[in-house]
Chain A
Amino acid sequence: MISLIRHAANHRELIATLAWKNIIVRYKQAYLGVAWSVLKPVMFMLIFMMMRSFVGIDSGPVPYPLLTFAALAPWILFQESASEGIHSVVSNALLIKKIYFPREVFPLTAVVTKLVEFGINCMILAVMMAWYHVVPTWQILWVPALVLYALLASLAISLAGSALNVYYRDIAAAMPVALSLMMYVSPIIYPLELVKTKLLVQHAAGAWSGLLFDLYTLNPLAGIIDGFQRAVLKGLSPDWDVIAHGLLVTTIVLPFSYAYFKKAEAYFADVI
């Protein structure tokens, strides 16, 4: 794990340059340019707002558009950096066959690239907050920690995933399906509060309710999204009961994921 951090530090220039390249290349011949990275969460938000108008989702005191956008921003950061990370090794096959540098540079670059787009989305969020007169408190300082957590969670998937994808391209094919399923078990369309009241207060699933809630929070995104919404919109610190499970899963999976990546790395150039 320490070696991951060391490699990242040693090759920060390389990672920064490659991320800069990714961003430039993506938007260079696009008329709308960087607007595309904003368009995605905005579209989702509009769809969710429309949906809510006939389903009815209780968003509590926070305006629903704000709540769902604050969920979409970290979700898209996680989802895109994971899926881009998984493709990153195979799509750089040419470089891998010709030049050596630590291969974790590729998944790391994918993450950093998405971080830039996340920054843009945060600015949109800030504008929306100003519109709705929501003033953040000093709790907003939790955001960097939550973002780091989201990045580590996506690395836990993309390190092992990108290595496996070198051998079995099935991984890249399965990923969009898995991620879109994951979106529904994360509190994005609906706030976590709803899940909480359903399971912990109303005991909707009877004796299983507590267990189901624990299971739900095993998903790191539950804690990340809820924490982000609380810190930015509600002026509350993250709810540790929600975060703990997912954080535990991430800290267990990430080292294994990285170890597998390092083991597989030696044969990338031969197999890819």
Chain B
Amino acid sequence: MTAIIRFDEVTKEFGLGQLQTFRHAAVQLAQRMRGVKIPKPQPFCALREVDLAIEAGEVVGIIGQNGAGKSTLLKLLANISQPTRGRITVQGRIAPLIEVGAGLVQDLTGRENIYVNGVILGMRKREIDRRLDEIVSFAELEQFIDTPIKRYSSGMQIRLGFSIATCVESEILIVDEVLAVGDLAFQRKCFDRMEDLIKRQNRTVLIVSHNVRQIERLCDRAILLERGQVVKDGEPTDVCAAFYDRSNEKIKSEAVRLGQRALTVTDDLVFQKVELFDDQDRPADRVAFLKPCRIRLKFEARHRLRGIAFMIGIHTTDFVYVTSNNTMDRPIDIPPGTKTIDLRLDAMRLLPGAYSFRIWIGTPEGRASYDAENLCTFQVTSSGGVRGRQQFGVVHLDGSFDLHADEPAKAPLDPRIAALDARADAQSQFHR
């Protein structure tokens, strides 16, 4: 196969700072004539000697932190800006979905906008005539298509933009953070449409997203950019894991800087800290996958608290709540003074990645004395080969396959095993 997109040592630099005014330039010229050396402003290097070859039909996800050069890469690819050095070869038509709704004109009606935007994106007028109904019905705007789009809600505008852009027939599709548009139902539709474009129409697709899960799901290759360089290129799962590892440090330091996100704070109690202990019972910020660990909560009650329950939840760094162990069923009274609570987990069943705690203290009826999230960011590390066993998702469920279920069962379930399970369950409860 030949590469449909090829980057040869592509470097892109930007001049930093402002355009100089005439006065500034005149002053500098005068200084230079007097022999004063003025340092040239150092250019900012957005991409540094990037080599890349993408083959036809590949779906490539590009991930990296802010400022890693992702959007610059797409802009160079779409011919919007030119590389400072190096060469880019592209074979085929490119449909840029760089920002959905770029070029929608507020004063025009939906129908007029379909024509204007379609032509801007490189469609022929006849092509648009043919697909007009499809575009309108996908955007679910049949009723409003002859209304100026300045009367549309923002969701409607984005739907229209997405619908037009995905109708462009091209060999290469560039997608920059557009999948999170509209309400949930429409997001679902967009996602299906993307999958359809990718899987069935066999287009070459480049996706830039901060939503690493999306990349993991949609792509068959991922590229990790860091400070303008490709640091990892390969299987999405591996690359995404590398990205998580790298992000972790940043997320941790940022979590410390931003501190907890307190949702409810009352003067019932002063929250002191939440700590994580690994399987050796040492304080840690990382625990191994499937190994036991302990979470310790410390606070000081200002006065006697009655009927208090605890919740220790875990959420991902993008605030997907995964677990919430709690004692709602057995509230206790707490005398004034320092109080420590432990939650023991017999095995860390969250898949490797970065997570944070959400702590809630209050009455089971719902009155919160304390509620905060983004506490004590920690990382679950893989303990070898885990990722090969389970690629997708957030949690690991214990289970076993019966690969011969069509044959009669050899023995009924041993009642002793059931008893063991119950004990394991009890262990993960709160220890006061």
Contact = CB atoms under 8 A, between A and B. Distances in A.
B19 A97 contact: no
A264 to B, nearest CB: 11
Helix, strand, loop or mixed for chain B's interface?
Answer: loop
Given A14-B119, A14-B120, A98 B80 contact: yes
Helix, strand, loop or mixed for chain A's interface?
Answer: helix
Contact of A94 (B81, B96, B102, B121): B102
Given A21-B108, A24-B108, A94-B103, A99 B121 contact: yes
A24 B122 CA distance: 21
A261 B75 CA distance: 20
B99 interface: yes
A167 interface: yes
Contact of B107 (A29, A94, A270): A29
Contacts of B66: none
Given A95-B103, A98-B103, A266-B81, A25 B108 contact: yes
A105 B121 CA distance: 13
Contacts of A98: 80, 96, 98-99, 102-103
A266 B79 CA distance: 9
Given A98-B102, A99-B103, A100-B96, A267 B82 contact: yes
A21 B112 contact: yes
B14 interface: yes
B115 interface: yes
Given A99-B98, A99-B120, A21 B80 contact: no
B151 interface: no
B124 interface: yes
A99 B19 contact: no
B96 A267 contact: no
B19 A95 contact: no
Contacts of A267: 81-82
A18 interface: yes
B119 A17 contact: yes
A104 to B, nearest CB: 14
Contact of B122 (A18, A101, A168, A266): A101
Contact of B80 (A18, A24, A25, A96): A96
Contacts of B81: 266-267, 269-270
A241 interface: no
B82 A25 contact: no
A29 B120 CA distance: 24
A203 interface: no
A25 B105 contact: yes
B17 to A, nearest CB: 12
A24 B105 CA distance: 11
Interface string B94-127: 1010110011010110001001100111101100
B78 interface: yes
B122 A17 contact: no
A173 to B, nearest CB: 13
A96 B79 CA distance: 10
B119 A99 contact: no
Given A17-B119, A101-B120, A269-B80, A24 B99 contact: no
B75 A269 contact: yes
Interface in A237-271: 266-267, 269-270
8 contacts: A14-B119, A25-B108, A95-B102, A95-B120, A98-B80, A99-B102, A99-B121, A100-B80
Interface string A1-39: 000000000000110011001001100110000000000
A114 to B, nearest CB: 19
Pick the most buried of A95, A100, A167, A267: most chain B CB atoms within 10 A of its CB: A100
Q: Which 7 residue pairs are nearest across A and B when measured between Cβ atoms?
A: A98-B102, A266-B82, A100-B79, A269-B81, A17-B119, A269-B80, A25-B107
Contacts of A97: 75, 80, 102
Interface residues of A, number: 23
A115 B301 CA distance: 80
A93 to B, nearest CB: 11
A25 B107 CA distance: 6
B404 to A, nearest CB: 57
A89 B148 CA distance: 25
A100 B103 CA distance: 12
A44 to B, nearest CB: 28
Interface in A199-213: none
Interface in A24-79: 24-25, 28-29
A94 B119 CA distance: 16
Contacts of B120: 14, 17-18, 95, 99, 101
B45 to A, nearest CB: 13
A98 B120 CA distance: 11
A167 B105 contact: no
Pick the most buried of B81, B99, B108, B125: most chain A CB atoms within 10 A of its CB: B81
Contacts of A266: 81-82
B118 to A, nearest CB: 9
Interface in A141-181: 167-168
A13 B96 contact: no
A18 B116 contact: yes
Nearest to B124: A13
Interface string A90-121: 00001111111100000000000000000000
